[in-house]
A and B are shown apart, each in its own frame.
Chain A
Amino acid sequence: MTSPNAPHADRYPAGSAAFPQRDLIALAGLAPWEILFLLDEAEQWVELNRQPHKRDDRLAGLTIINAFFENSTRTLLSFEIAGKRLGADVVNMLVAQSSVKKGETLIDTAMTLNAMHADAMVIRHQSSGAVRLIAEKVDCPVLNAGDGQHEHPTQGLLDALTIRKAKGEFAGLTITICGDILHSRVARSNIHCLTTLGAEVRVCAPPALMPADIEALKVRPYYDFDAALAGADVVMMLRLQQERMSGQFIPSPREYRHLYGLTLDRLARAKGDALVMHPGPMNRGIEIDSNVADLPGRSAITAQVEMGVAIRMACLDVLTRRSRKVEGWA
């Protein structure tokens, strides 16, 4: 096996053929080599971000607009840092949900941003499919920073990079994703990404939070968390929103922890070196205990945040190569 950190240039075609998409809306439908290309591109940024001087000016002069129609702190910050470290001018537009009535002006907003000649747009929206709708109307590359319950592709990529750095190749890995699968765009992007890369993916949730026909996405569904954990190489916990634990889907947070909380005892059912992941923000003491979240050598939760910046730098770099007329991409 080659070093997991080394680029696998033999796995994908040269130049723009390595990633022929204009936008990054979803990981569903991407070829394995397209995903691997982005992961490999991110490796250099992982290194750069660990240096005291974290600056590369390849996007100098470009304007990136982060248009977030749904509240976000972490993802927005991560994209902002990624753009700035590549030298771009980054502008954040935060559209409080109250000021845009149910997306009535969504297309108008997109056209307005387009007229400002952004070189890339990063968009988060509370409705599935909304980012694609915007991408169809604007002239620049669009990165989906999360659309409703559909996808959050950079999260899927950063999780894959985190796993690769810890475990090497994906084939042969068993990865358990547990939590609110039904409402989770993180789960969908991870499912598409990890199954495409050859991992065996299990999803675990109570019936009310398990999407219909999830098997069609090439995963194995479990209601029993202990069974889902048995022999797992990676355990990925999802955040459960408070309002879904108050009787609507789950009787109480306490009961959710009883069935689906990742405790040290439960973690022992997974492999001895199983990696613990969580996209954040965590409900400590509910879906994950603090002593698991902070477990040295096992918890990759802060590594995920670190990989997030690198992945977003890679995506911004790759998607703007055509407009920057990079050799082989123009």
Chain B
Amino acid sequence: MSSVRPLTIFNGQLVLPGARPVPGTLRCAGGRITALGGAEPQDGDLVIDARGALIAPGLVDLGVFAIDKPAFHFGGITRAALMPDQGVVLDKRSAVRFAAQSGKPDLWVHPLAAATRGLEGLELAELALMRDAGAKAVATGRRWIADTGVMHRLLSYCAMLGLTVVTHAEDSGLTGNAVATAGEMATRLGLPAAPAEAEALAVARDLALAEMSGARLHIRQVTTARALDLVRHAKQRGMKVTAGVTPAHLMLSDVALGDYRTFTKLSPPLRSEADRQAVRAAIGDGTIDVIASGHDPRGPEDKRLPFTDAEPGMAGAETLLPLTLSLVRDGVIDLARAFELIATNPAAILGVDAGKLAVGSEADVALIDPAKPWVVDSDMMAAAAGNTPFDKQGVEGRVTALFKGGMPIDL
């Protein structure tokens, strides 16, 4: 990275950990931040006027299903943790090594190793080999590991290896072929549905196993009041557990399924309004640590189908930042906490030196106009596909410039 020209960004608002934005300058050289605050540009620097924009850490997106650089760059994402559910499952050293290189030069890709071979939930994959090939954590993929014995052995092994286990929390015995949460909406639409408690059951089991084994557990999406209560109590007991969510579950309830629009088909499915409110409260009180995009672009061949036949998932990279910032405007969290949720905490869970502005850190930096209004349009997205449940919705907050290791990225 030494070939990258040193960079000075002035006239911005620095987003520093735990503080209100402060006017200041950021300088980086050799790919790392060398000064924050009152630095002066030096001869030869690339000098950029931030024009009052936020100077913030690049977003760290914990759990995406595709490497979709245009969408990530649009959304200010400089690091993406890639789920193992790929065409070739990330269950071997070679696949992990390849994935870890696949973002170069303008995106960090942090592969998540498949917990079990083929993500079948039966046999442990070669986790130590994958760790040493660049996997930053282990993930169960889109599925829950139904066999409690397998899950216990997985967590014990990962505790020894120092790898966080990223889980999907839905009791598969209860969910079966469900595509919606049981309730009035699913009943009216005649959609196969499972009780919201399927999540709490899965969380309860995985928390108990994690406590037994001493493993670090990250529950990628916690979307119901009951499961959030379990996580809250586990944290109060001092357990090493973190929880995430995507903006869909804090913005939408299952009412959005009303016209069978498959862009609202997600895994886990959208929940009741009461659960949505519980998610927002859990973001406010610190129970939820991470907001991620769950980016999963899906074209018409996967989405232009009857609801039950369509694939779940949303293209979320472009809306992660503005929808998280909406929580700041709504008074749920402050700006510093917003960047903990979308940068600092996910970076810490992955064990990468990123996610916050600090002297010596990698210079992954986003310039953000937090008030810039724009309209989400599924036909005009940077993502590989426009499957957003927020189509035609007005949002605020846009990345105006992005730097990875001090290197400007074309937006």
The answer to whether the Cβ of B195 comes within 8 Å of any Cβ in the partner chain is yes
Cβ A127 vs Cβ B309 within 8 A: yes
* B255 part of interface (Cβ distance < 8 Å): no
Cα distance A104–B190 when bound, in Å? 20
Residues of B within 8 A of A133 (CB): 260, 305-306
CA distance A212 to B192 in the complex (A): 11
Bound Cα distance A243, B368 (Å): 57
**Contact assessment for B305 and A128 in the assembled complex, using a CB-CB cutoff below 8 Å:** no
Return the chain B residue nearest A133 by Cβ.
B306
Q: Which chain A residues lie closer than 8 Å to B188 at the CB level?
A: 28, 188, 216-217
Measured between alpha carbons, how far is A28 from B184 in the docked complex, in Å?
A: 13
- Pick out which of these stretches binds chain B: A15-23, A55-63, A145-153, A292-300: A145-153
User: Which residue, A104, A106, A107, A212, has most C-beta atoms of chain B within 10 A?
Assistant: A212
Q: Is B307 an interface residue (CB 8 A)?
A: yes
B286-326 vs A, Cβ < 8 Å mask (1 yes, 0 no): 00000000000000010011111100000000000000000
> Is the pair B301, A104 in contact by a Cβ cutoff of 8 Å?
yes
Q: Is the CB of B182 within 8 A of A104?
A: no
Asked if A106 meets B192 with Cβ closer than 8 Å, knowing A128-B260, A133-B260, A212-B184, the reply is no
Q: Is the CB of A128 within 8 A of B309?
A: no
Q: Is A213 within 8 A of B187, CB to CB?
A: yes
Q: Pick the most buried of B182, B186, B195, B307: most chain A CB atoms within 10 A of its CB.
A: B307
State how many angstroms separate the Cβ of A104 from the closest Cβ of chain B.
7
Most buried by B among A106, A133, A151, A214: A133
SS class of chain B's interface: helix, strand, loop or mixed?
loop
Does B195 contact A129, Cβ atoms closer than 8 Å?
A: no
A129→B193 CA distance, assembly (Å): 15
A129 touches B307 (CB 8 A): yes
Residue B191 interfacial (CB < 8 Å):
yes
A147 — which chain B residues lie within 8 A by C-beta? 190
Chain A residues contacting B307 (CB-CB under 8 Å) are 127-129
Interface flags, A102-113, vs B, CB<8A=1, else 0: 111011000000
Q: Is A211 interfacial (CB-CB < 8 Å)?
A: yes
Partner of A103 from the list B182, B191, B306 (CB cut-off 8 Å) is B306
Distance between A147 CB and nearest chain B CB, rounded to angstroms: 8
Pairwise interchain contact B309-A216, C-beta atoms closer than 8 A: no
Q: Given the interface contacts A149-B191, A151-B190, does A104 sit within 8 Å of B305 by beta carbon?
A: yes
Assembly CA distance A155 to B313 (angstroms): 35
* Min C-beta distance of B394 to chain A, whole Å: 25
Residue A85 lies at the interface, judged by CB distance under 8 Å to chain B: no
Decide if B189 is an interface residue (CB 8 Å cutoff): yes
Residues of B within 8 A of A151 (CB): 190
Q: Once the chains bind, are A217 and B187 in contact (CB under 8 Å)?
A: yes
Residue of B nearest to A127 (CB): B306
Known contacts A216-B187, A217-B187; is A125 also within 8 Å of B193 by CB? no
- Expressed in whole angstroms, the Cα–Cα distance for A104 and B308 within the complex equals 12
A239 within 8 A of B: no
Q: Does A185 contact B (CB under 8 A)?
A: yes
Partner of A213, one of B183, B259, B305: B183
Chain A residue contacts of B184, Cβ below 8 A:
212-213, 216-217
User: What are 5 A-B contacts defined by CB distance under 8 Å?
Assistant: A128-B306, A148-B190, A148-B308, A188-B188, A212-B182
- Residue ranges of B at the interface with A (Cβ–Cβ < 8 Å): 182-184, 186-193, 195, 259-260, 301, 304-309
Query: Apart from A127-B308, A212-B186, what 17 extra A-B contacts exist at CB < 8 Å?
Result: A102-B309, A128-B306, A129-B260, A129-B306, A132-B259, A148-B190, A148-B306, A148-B308, A150-B189, A188-B188, A211-B182, A211-B187, A211-B193, A212-B183, A212-B184, A213-B183, A216-B188
Pairs A-B, 9 closest by C-beta atoms: A129-B260, A127-B306, A150-B190, A149-B190, A212-B182, A130-B306, A211-B187, A216-B184, A128-B190
